[in-house]
């Protein structure tokens, strides 16, 4: 019995050796046991001796059975719904997408994108969902990718205020201007319709406009502010 058992084991090992020698990867262009529609596949044997096939399309698929009506597959594929927060640390390496479509028609920018996730699916009901394109941005705190309308991304915040004897008297010194930026290149000041010189006729700090006293300057810049009759107009943007 021992001899027969040993012979049986040796025969089994021999069969496995032959199987493994024949289970080499095949040319993926052959499309082994798969139709062309499913793409080329590679035949392999797992550690239990089960013959499987593997193919790579938009992910990796393993096929255990190729019998008609009994196709058994397991697929790991890009796409779908994330079940938890997912982070990819590129560690200084490039993370890039090639072949992206170039948008040249700026009129297709989205005007109805909103925070409703159901309206943001790529295959949503166009009649009810978002249309056009948005801009992808990154939250530096969480690292999350988010979107913003291009109209909001390029929106210019601006302001306008007038100092005259009908409202706030035009005066030398600091004049409070709501949300006035500290960058003088973003602030324009006019006296009775004439543009004043930035940094000479006026200076700015965040929230304050300072009209300079020019009475001691050489002509024709030796003007004097008249709080009763002058009109000071301020335009700013940021």
pLDDT tens per residue, range 8-58: 443 444 444 434 333 333 344 444 444 445 556 666 677 777 776 666 655
DSSP readout, 28-85? GGG-TTS-GGG---EEEE-TT--EEEEEEESEEEEEEE-STT--EEEEEES-S--SS-
pLDDT of residue 154: 85
Residue 186 in this model has a pLDDT that exceeds 80: yes
Pairing state between β 158-163 and 187-191: unpaired
Q: Check: CB of residue 78 under 8 Å from CB of residue 59.
A: yes
* pTM of this prediction exceeds 0.75: no
Give residue-wise pLDDT tens across range 158-178: 999 888 776 566 666 677 888
Top-confidence residue, 86 or 40: 86
pLDDT above 80 for 60: no
- CA–CA distance, 134 with 112 (Å, rounded to integer): 10
Quote the pLDDT of residue 138: 92
């Amino acid at each position: 019995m021992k001899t027969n058992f040993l012979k049986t084991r040796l025969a089994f090992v021999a069969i496995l050796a032959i199987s493994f020698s024949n289970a080499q990867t095949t040319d993926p262009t052959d499309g082994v046991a798969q139709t062309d529609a499913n793409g080329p596949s590679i035949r392999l044997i797992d550690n239990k001796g089960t013959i499987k096939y593997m193919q790579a399309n938009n992910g990796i698929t393993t096929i255990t059975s190729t019998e008609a009506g009994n196709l058994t597959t397991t697929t790991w594929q890009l796409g779908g719904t994330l079940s938890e927060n997912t982070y990819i640390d590129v560690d200084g390496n490039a993370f890039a997408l090639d072949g992206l479509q170039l948008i040249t028609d700026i009129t297709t920018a989205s005007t109805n994108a909103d925070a409703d996730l159901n309206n943001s699916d790529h295959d949503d009901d166009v009649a009810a969902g978002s249309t056009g394109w948005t801009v992808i941005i990154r939250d530096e705190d969480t690292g999350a990718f988010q979107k913003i309308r291009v109209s909001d991304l390029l929106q210019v915040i601006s302001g306008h205020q007038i100092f005259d004897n009908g409202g706030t008297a035009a005066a030398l010194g600091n004049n409070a201007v709501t949300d006035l930026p500290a960058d003088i290149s973003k602030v324009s000041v006019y006296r009775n319709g004439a543009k004043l010189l930035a940094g000479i006729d006026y200076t700015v700090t965040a929230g304050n406009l300072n009209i300079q006293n020019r009475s001691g300057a050489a002509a024709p810049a030796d003007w004097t502010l008249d709080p009763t009759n002058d009109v000071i107009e301020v335009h700013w943007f940021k």
